[in-house]
A = this chain, B = another copy of it.
Amino acid sequence: MGADLEPGVRLKEIRSKCLTVTHEFVVARCRDELGGHRGGGFVADALTSFLAGGKFLRPVFAYIGWTCGGAESDAALRAAGSLELLHCFALVQDDVMDGSSLRRGKPALHRRMAQWHREEGLSGSPEKFGESAAVLLADLFLVWSERMLRECGLPAAALSRGWPRYDDLRAELAVGQFSDLVNDAGRAPGWDSVLDVLRRKSGNYTVRRPLEFGAALAGCGEQQLAGLSAYGRLVGEAFQFRDDLLGVFGDPRVTGKPVGEDLRDRKATSVVVLAAELADPAQARELRALTRLDAVEPADVRRWQALIAATGAPGELERMIGRRSADALEAVERAGLPDPARAALAELASSCTERAR
Protein backbone atom coordinates (compact mmCIF):
# COMPACT_ATOMS: atom_id res chain seq x y z
CA MET A 1 0.00 0.00 0.00
CA GLY A 2 1.93 2.94 -1.42
CA ALA A 3 4.10 4.37 1.37
CA ASP A 4 5.27 6.88 -1.26
CA LEU A 5 1.78 8.36 -1.75
CA GLU A 6 0.91 11.87 -0.61
CA PRO A 7 -0.11 11.50 3.10
CA GLY A 8 -3.77 12.49 2.62
CA VAL A 9 -4.20 10.01 -0.23
CA ARG A 10 -2.40 7.27 1.67
CA LEU A 11 -4.64 7.77 4.74
CA LYS A 12 -7.75 7.53 2.57
CA GLU A 13 -6.42 4.31 1.11
CA ILE A 14 -5.75 2.83 4.56
CA ARG A 15 -9.22 3.79 5.71
CA SER A 16 -10.78 2.21 2.67
CA LYS A 17 -8.84 -1.05 3.07
CA CYS A 18 -9.68 -1.23 6.79
CA LEU A 19 -13.34 -0.74 5.90
CA THR A 20 -13.18 -3.51 3.30
CA VAL A 21 -11.70 -6.16 5.61
CA THR A 22 -13.99 -5.20 8.49
CA HIS A 23 -17.04 -5.20 6.27
CA GLU A 24 -16.15 -8.69 5.01
CA PHE A 25 -15.82 -9.93 8.56
CA VAL A 26 -19.17 -8.47 9.65
CA VAL A 27 -20.95 -9.86 6.59
CA ALA A 28 -19.60 -13.35 7.38
CA ARG A 29 -20.62 -13.08 11.04
CA CYS A 30 -24.12 -11.86 10.16
CA ARG A 31 -24.53 -14.75 7.72
CA ASP A 32 -23.34 -17.38 10.22
CA GLU A 33 -24.99 -16.03 13.34
CA LEU A 34 -28.11 -14.19 12.23
CA GLY A 35 -28.99 -16.16 9.11
CA GLY A 36 -32.46 -17.70 9.33
CA HIS A 37 -33.52 -15.56 12.28
CA ARG A 38 -36.53 -13.31 12.00
CA GLY A 39 -35.16 -9.82 11.42
CA GLY A 40 -31.71 -11.23 10.57
CA GLY A 41 -31.61 -9.60 7.13
CA PHE A 42 -32.71 -6.22 8.43
CA VAL A 43 -30.16 -6.38 11.24
CA ALA A 44 -27.34 -7.36 8.85
CA ASP A 45 -28.14 -4.33 6.67
CA ALA A 46 -28.33 -2.05 9.69
CA LEU A 47 -25.00 -3.23 11.11
CA THR A 48 -23.06 -3.07 7.84
CA SER A 49 -24.37 0.38 6.98
CA PHE A 50 -23.60 1.57 10.50
CA LEU A 51 -20.05 0.30 10.05
CA ALA A 52 -19.66 1.93 6.63
CA GLY A 53 -20.53 5.36 8.06
CA GLY A 54 -17.50 5.40 10.37
CA LYS A 55 -14.36 7.52 10.01
CA PHE A 56 -12.16 4.50 10.92
CA LEU A 57 -9.89 6.84 12.84
CA ARG A 58 -8.80 4.22 15.38
CA PRO A 59 -7.91 1.56 12.77
CA VAL A 60 -5.98 4.17 10.80
CA PHE A 61 -3.97 5.17 13.89
CA ALA A 62 -3.39 1.49 14.72
CA TYR A 63 -2.21 0.74 11.20
CA ILE A 64 0.13 3.76 11.17
CA GLY A 65 1.50 2.48 14.50
CA TRP A 66 2.01 -0.91 12.83
CA THR A 67 3.95 0.62 9.92
CA CYS A 68 6.45 2.10 12.40
CA GLY A 69 7.88 -1.41 12.72
CA GLY A 70 6.10 -3.77 10.33
CA ALA A 71 5.69 -4.23 6.57
CA GLU A 72 2.38 -3.65 4.78
CA SER A 73 0.10 -6.55 5.77
CA ASP A 74 -3.52 -7.62 5.34
CA ALA A 75 -3.37 -9.37 8.70
CA ALA A 76 -2.38 -6.07 10.34
CA LEU A 77 -5.26 -4.33 8.53
CA ARG A 78 -7.64 -6.86 10.09
CA ALA A 79 -6.08 -6.37 13.54
CA ALA A 80 -6.50 -2.61 13.10
CA GLY A 81 -10.08 -3.02 11.82
CA SER A 82 -11.04 -4.81 15.04
CA LEU A 83 -10.84 -1.43 16.80
CA GLU A 84 -13.61 -0.04 14.60
CA LEU A 85 -15.94 -2.81 15.75
CA LEU A 86 -15.12 -1.90 19.33
CA HIS A 87 -15.97 1.69 18.45
CA CYS A 88 -19.29 0.66 16.86
CA PHE A 89 -20.14 -1.13 20.10
CA ALA A 90 -19.42 2.03 22.10
CA LEU A 91 -21.39 4.34 19.79
CA VAL A 92 -24.49 2.16 19.64
CA GLN A 93 -24.59 1.79 23.41
CA ASP A 94 -23.83 5.49 23.99
CA ASP A 95 -26.72 6.50 21.77
CA VAL A 96 -29.09 4.30 23.78
CA MET A 97 -27.85 5.70 27.09
CA ASP A 98 -27.91 9.30 25.91
CA GLY A 99 -31.23 8.84 24.12
CA SER A 100 -29.63 10.31 20.96
CA SER A 101 -31.94 9.93 18.01
CA LEU A 102 -29.36 10.75 15.33
CA ARG A 103 -25.95 9.31 14.51
CA ARG A 104 -24.04 10.74 11.57
CA GLY A 105 -27.19 12.48 10.40
CA LYS A 106 -29.20 9.25 10.24
CA PRO A 107 -31.49 7.57 12.77
CA ALA A 108 -29.48 5.94 15.57
CA LEU A 109 -29.51 2.12 15.61
CA HIS A 110 -32.05 1.91 18.44
CA ARG A 111 -34.35 4.16 16.42
CA ARG A 112 -33.95 1.96 13.35
CA MET A 113 -34.80 -1.12 15.41
CA ALA A 114 -37.82 0.65 16.90
CA GLN A 115 -38.97 1.50 13.39
CA TRP A 116 -38.57 -2.13 12.35
CA HIS A 117 -40.70 -3.17 15.35
CA ARG A 118 -43.45 -0.82 14.14
CA GLU A 119 -43.27 -1.99 10.54
CA GLU A 120 -43.44 -5.63 11.60
CA GLY A 121 -46.48 -4.86 13.73
CA LEU A 122 -44.91 -6.41 16.84
CA SER A 123 -46.51 -5.87 20.23
CA GLY A 124 -45.18 -3.87 23.18
CA SER A 125 -43.31 -0.58 23.13
CA PRO A 126 -41.25 0.00 19.95
CA GLU A 127 -38.91 2.32 21.88
CA LYS A 128 -38.18 -0.24 24.59
CA PHE A 129 -37.70 -2.94 21.96
CA GLY A 130 -35.37 -0.69 19.97
CA GLU A 131 -33.21 0.04 23.00
CA SER A 132 -32.93 -3.59 24.07
CA ALA A 133 -32.21 -4.74 20.52
CA ALA A 134 -29.53 -2.06 20.06
CA VAL A 135 -27.82 -3.04 23.32
CA LEU A 136 -27.73 -6.67 22.14
CA LEU A 137 -26.41 -5.70 18.72
CA ALA A 138 -23.75 -3.58 20.41
CA ASP A 139 -22.76 -6.75 22.30
CA LEU A 140 -22.28 -8.47 18.95
CA PHE A 141 -19.94 -5.69 17.80
CA LEU A 142 -17.98 -6.04 21.06
CA VAL A 143 -17.64 -9.80 20.71
CA TRP A 144 -16.82 -9.61 17.01
CA SER A 145 -14.08 -7.08 17.65
CA GLU A 146 -12.17 -9.50 19.87
CA ARG A 147 -12.77 -12.37 17.47
CA MET A 148 -11.59 -10.37 14.45
CA LEU A 149 -8.35 -9.59 16.28
CA ARG A 150 -7.85 -13.19 17.41
CA GLU A 151 -8.41 -14.47 13.87
CA CYS A 152 -6.58 -11.67 12.02
CA GLY A 153 -3.75 -13.93 10.88
CA LEU A 154 -0.80 -12.27 12.63
CA PRO A 155 1.70 -14.68 14.24
CA ALA A 156 1.05 -15.65 17.88
CA ALA A 157 4.10 -13.69 19.08
CA ALA A 158 2.77 -10.46 17.54
CA LEU A 159 -0.70 -11.06 18.96
CA SER A 160 0.61 -11.72 22.43
CA ARG A 161 2.29 -8.30 22.35
CA GLY A 162 -1.02 -6.74 21.29
CA TRP A 163 -3.45 -8.29 23.76
CA PRO A 164 -2.43 -6.29 26.85
CA ARG A 165 -2.86 -3.06 24.86
CA TYR A 166 -6.20 -4.22 23.53
CA ASP A 167 -7.36 -5.18 27.01
CA ASP A 168 -6.35 -1.81 28.43
CA LEU A 169 -8.14 -0.01 25.62
CA ARG A 170 -11.32 -2.01 26.10
CA ALA A 171 -11.30 -1.64 29.88
CA GLU A 172 -10.62 2.09 29.73
CA LEU A 173 -13.49 2.45 27.32
CA ALA A 174 -16.06 0.76 29.56
CA VAL A 175 -14.77 2.29 32.78
CA GLY A 176 -14.50 5.68 31.06
CA GLN A 177 -18.15 5.44 30.03
CA PHE A 178 -19.05 4.58 33.59
CA SER A 179 -17.12 7.58 34.97
CA ASP A 180 -18.76 9.74 32.34
CA LEU A 181 -22.14 8.59 33.58
CA VAL A 182 -21.19 9.40 37.18
CA ASN A 183 -19.74 12.79 36.19
CA ASP A 184 -22.80 13.74 34.17
CA ALA A 185 -24.93 12.87 37.20
CA GLY A 186 -22.63 14.59 39.66
CA ARG A 187 -23.27 18.21 40.52
CA ALA A 188 -20.70 20.42 38.80
CA PRO A 189 -17.64 18.19 38.41
CA GLY A 190 -14.31 20.02 38.51
CA TRP A 191 -11.95 20.55 35.60
CA ASP A 192 -9.49 17.93 36.93
CA SER A 193 -12.08 15.20 36.99
CA VAL A 194 -13.30 16.09 33.48
CA LEU A 195 -9.73 16.04 32.20
CA ASP A 196 -9.20 12.64 33.80
CA VAL A 197 -12.26 11.11 32.12
CA LEU A 198 -11.35 12.78 28.84
CA ARG A 199 -7.85 11.34 28.98
CA ARG A 200 -9.00 7.86 29.82
CA LYS A 201 -11.98 7.74 27.56
CA SER A 202 -11.39 9.72 24.44
CA GLY A 203 -7.82 10.90 24.55
CA ASN A 204 -6.36 7.48 25.14
CA TYR A 205 -9.06 5.59 23.34
CA THR A 206 -9.05 7.46 20.04
CA VAL A 207 -5.38 8.08 19.38
CA ARG A 208 -2.87 6.92 21.96
CA ARG A 209 -4.01 3.36 22.61
CA PRO A 210 -4.64 2.50 18.93
CA LEU A 211 -1.16 3.80 18.00
CA GLU A 212 0.48 1.87 20.85
CA PHE A 213 -1.52 -1.21 19.96
CA GLY A 214 -0.37 -1.17 16.35
CA ALA A 215 3.23 -0.44 17.29
CA ALA A 216 3.22 -3.23 19.90
CA LEU A 217 1.89 -5.72 17.32
CA ALA A 218 4.82 -4.72 15.09
CA GLY A 219 7.34 -5.09 17.93
CA CYS A 220 8.49 -1.43 17.98
CA GLY A 221 11.17 -0.46 20.48
CA GLU A 222 10.93 1.74 23.59
CA GLN A 223 11.94 5.01 21.93
CA GLN A 224 9.34 4.72 19.19
CA LEU A 225 6.63 3.64 21.62
CA ALA A 226 7.38 6.57 23.91
CA GLY A 227 7.17 9.01 20.99
CA LEU A 228 3.88 7.54 19.79
CA SER A 229 2.46 7.61 23.34
CA ALA A 230 3.33 11.28 23.79
CA TYR A 231 1.88 12.17 20.38
CA GLY A 232 -1.21 10.09 21.10
CA ARG A 233 -1.90 11.66 24.46
CA LEU A 234 -1.56 15.20 23.09
CA VAL A 235 -3.50 14.72 19.85
CA GLY A 236 -6.12 12.67 21.70
CA GLU A 237 -6.79 15.49 24.13
CA ALA A 238 -6.83 18.07 21.34
CA PHE A 239 -9.22 15.81 19.39
CA GLN A 240 -11.57 15.67 22.35
CA PHE A 241 -11.41 19.43 23.00
CA ARG A 242 -12.39 19.91 19.35
CA ASP A 243 -15.19 17.38 19.76
CA ASP A 244 -16.47 19.22 22.81
CA LEU A 245 -16.35 22.57 20.99
CA LEU A 246 -18.33 21.03 18.12
CA GLY A 247 -20.82 19.59 20.63
CA VAL A 248 -21.67 23.16 21.67
CA PHE A 249 -20.92 25.31 18.61
CA GLY A 250 -20.89 22.80 15.72
CA ASP A 251 -22.96 23.39 12.59
CA PRO A 252 -25.70 20.73 12.59
CA ARG A 253 -25.59 20.56 8.77
CA VAL A 254 -21.97 19.46 9.04
CA THR A 255 -21.88 17.46 12.28
CA GLY A 256 -25.11 15.58 11.58
CA LYS A 257 -26.13 16.19 15.20
CA PRO A 258 -28.75 18.58 16.64
CA VAL A 259 -27.42 22.08 17.39
CA GLY A 260 -26.01 22.46 20.93
CA GLU A 261 -26.64 18.77 21.64
CA ASP A 262 -24.21 18.58 24.56
CA LEU A 263 -25.96 21.55 26.20
CA ARG A 264 -29.41 19.99 25.88
CA ASP A 265 -27.99 16.80 27.37
CA ARG A 266 -26.31 18.73 30.23
CA LYS A 267 -23.01 17.02 29.40
CA ALA A 268 -20.09 18.00 31.58
CA THR A 269 -17.68 18.41 28.65
CA SER A 270 -14.39 20.31 28.70
CA VAL A 271 -15.80 23.53 27.24
CA VAL A 272 -18.82 23.52 29.56
CA VAL A 273 -16.78 22.91 32.70
CA LEU A 274 -14.06 25.37 31.71
CA ALA A 275 -16.72 28.02 31.06
CA ALA A 276 -18.12 27.43 34.54
CA GLU A 277 -14.64 27.87 36.03
CA LEU A 278 -13.89 31.05 34.06
CA ALA A 279 -17.33 32.64 34.48
CA ASP A 280 -17.72 35.81 36.56
CA PRO A 281 -20.46 35.70 39.26
CA ALA A 282 -23.18 37.06 36.94
CA GLN A 283 -22.29 34.68 34.11
CA ALA A 284 -22.10 31.78 36.59
CA ARG A 285 -25.63 32.53 37.84
CA GLU A 286 -26.99 32.62 34.31
CA LEU A 287 -25.18 29.39 33.35
CA ARG A 288 -26.65 27.63 36.39
CA ALA A 289 -30.12 28.88 35.49
CA LEU A 290 -29.80 27.47 31.96
CA THR A 291 -28.62 24.12 33.36
CA ARG A 292 -31.79 23.91 35.42
CA LEU A 293 -34.27 24.55 32.58
CA ASP A 294 -36.77 21.75 32.08
CA ALA A 295 -36.98 22.26 28.33
CA VAL A 296 -34.27 23.92 26.25
CA GLU A 297 -35.61 26.06 23.37
CA PRO A 298 -33.51 27.18 20.36
CA ALA A 299 -33.26 30.68 21.87
CA ASP A 300 -31.87 29.17 25.08
CA VAL A 301 -29.22 27.32 23.09
CA ARG A 302 -28.18 30.57 21.39
CA ARG A 303 -28.03 32.42 24.72
CA TRP A 304 -26.05 29.54 26.25
CA GLN A 305 -23.55 29.54 23.37
CA ALA A 306 -23.08 33.29 23.68
CA LEU A 307 -22.51 33.04 27.43
CA ILE A 308 -19.93 30.28 27.07
CA ALA A 309 -18.17 32.30 24.38
CA ALA A 310 -18.17 35.35 26.66
CA THR A 311 -16.37 33.47 29.45
CA GLY A 312 -13.40 33.03 27.11
CA ALA A 313 -13.49 29.21 27.41
CA PRO A 314 -13.57 28.50 23.63
CA GLY A 315 -10.56 30.74 22.99
CA GLU A 316 -8.67 29.10 25.85
CA LEU A 317 -9.49 25.65 24.44
CA GLU A 318 -8.34 26.71 20.96
CA ARG A 319 -5.02 27.75 22.48
CA MET A 320 -4.76 24.40 24.29
CA ILE A 321 -5.51 22.57 21.04
CA GLY A 322 -2.82 24.51 19.18
CA ARG A 323 -0.24 23.93 21.90
CA ARG A 324 -0.95 20.20 21.99
CA SER A 325 -0.73 19.87 18.21
CA ALA A 326 2.65 21.55 18.12
CA ASP A 327 4.02 19.50 21.03
CA ALA A 328 2.73 16.30 19.40
CA LEU A 329 4.61 16.96 16.18
CA GLU A 330 7.76 17.64 18.17
CA ALA A 331 7.41 14.33 20.03
CA VAL A 332 7.11 12.51 16.70
CA GLU A 333 10.21 14.21 15.31
CA ARG A 334 12.30 12.94 18.20
CA ALA A 335 11.04 9.33 18.06
CA GLY A 336 13.00 8.09 15.04
CA LEU A 337 9.96 6.91 13.07
CA PRO A 338 9.98 6.00 9.36
CA ASP A 339 9.26 9.00 7.12
CA PRO A 340 5.89 7.82 5.75
CA ALA A 341 4.59 7.24 9.29
CA ARG A 342 5.80 10.67 10.38
CA ALA A 343 4.10 12.35 7.44
CA ALA A 344 0.88 10.45 8.10
CA LEU A 345 0.91 11.43 11.79
CA ALA A 346 1.40 15.10 10.92
CA GLU A 347 -1.55 14.91 8.50
CA LEU A 348 -3.68 13.14 11.11
CA ALA A 349 -2.85 15.71 13.79
CA SER A 350 -4.29 18.47 11.58
CA SER A 351 -7.33 16.53 10.46
CA CYS A 352 -8.19 15.53 14.05
CA THR A 353 -7.82 18.95 15.59
CA GLU A 354 -9.00 21.27 12.81
CA ARG A 355 -12.03 19.29 11.70
CA ALA A 356 -15.57 20.68 11.56
CA ARG A 357 -17.34 17.37 12.20
On A, residues with C-beta under 8 Å from B are 29, 32-34, 37-39, 43, 93, 96-97, 117, 121-124, 129, 132-133, 135-137, 139-140, 142-143, 146-147, 150, 156, 163, 167, 170-172, 174-175, 177-179, 181-182, 184-187, 266
Query: Which residues of B are found within 8 Å of A171, using beta-carbon distances?
Result: 29, 32-33, 140, 143
CB distance B136 to A177 under 8 Å?
Answer: yes
Q: How far is the CB of A171 from chain B (nearest CB, A)?
A: 5
CB distance A34 to B175 under 8 Å?
Answer: yes
Which listed residue, B38, B121, B156, B174, touches A136 by the CB 8 Å rule? B174
- Known contacts A97-B135, A136-B177; is-contact A182 B143 (Cβ 8 Å): no
A-B pairs with beta carbons under 8 Å apart, 23 shown: A33-B171, A37-B182, A93-B136, A93-B139, A96-B135, A97-B135, A122-B182, A122-B187, A123-B185, A123-B186, A124-B185, A129-B181, A129-B185, A132-B181, A135-B135, A136-B177, A136-B181, A140-B175, A142-B142, A142-B143, A143-B146, A143-B167, A156-B156
8 closest Cβ pairs, A-B complex: A122-B185, A97-B132, A33-B171, A124-B185, A136-B178, A139-B174, A38-B182, A33-B175
CB distance A124 to B38 under 8 Å?
Answer: no
How far, in angstroms, from A93 to B266 measured CA to CA in the complex? 26
Query: Which residues of B are found within 8 Å of A97, using beta-carbon distances?
Result: 132, 135
CB nearest to A37 among chain B residues: B179
CB distance A38 to B135 under 8 Å?
Answer: no
How far, in angstroms, from A260 to B230 measured CA to CA in the complex? 58
CB distance B187 to A38 under 8 Å?
Answer: no
Known: A37-B175, A93-B135, A124-B185. 9 other contacts (CB 8 A): A38-B182, A117-B185, A124-B266, A129-B181, A136-B174, A136-B178, A139-B142, A142-B143, A150-B163
Query: Which residues of B are found within 8 Å of A123, using beta-carbon distances?
Result: 185-187
Interface centre among A34, A39, A175, by most B CB within 10 Å?
Answer: A175
CB nearest to A125 among chain B residues: B185
Q: How far is the CB of A232 from chain B (nearest CB, A)?
A: 20
Q: How far is the CB of A127 from chain B (nearest CB, A)?
A: 12
How far, in angstroms, from A142 to B170 measured CA to CA in the complex? 11
Q: How far is the CB of A158 from chain B (nearest CB, A)?
A: 14
How far, in angstroms, from A29 to B170 measured CA to CA in the complex? 12
How far, in angstroms, from A93 to B134 measured CA to CA in the complex? 12
Q: How far is the CB of A294 from chain B (nearest CB, A)?
A: 13
How far, in angstroms, from A241 to B137 measured CA to CA in the complex? 27
Q: How far is the CB of A87 from chain B (nearest CB, A)?
A: 14
Interface centre among A34, A147, A150, A178, by most B CB within 10 Å?
Answer: A178
Q: How far is the CB of A128 from chain B (nearest CB, A)?
A: 8
Q: How far is the CB of A132 from chain B (nearest CB, A)?
A: 4
Query: Which residues of B are found within 8 Å of A163, using beta-carbon distances?
Result: 150
CB nearest to A136 among chain B residues: B178
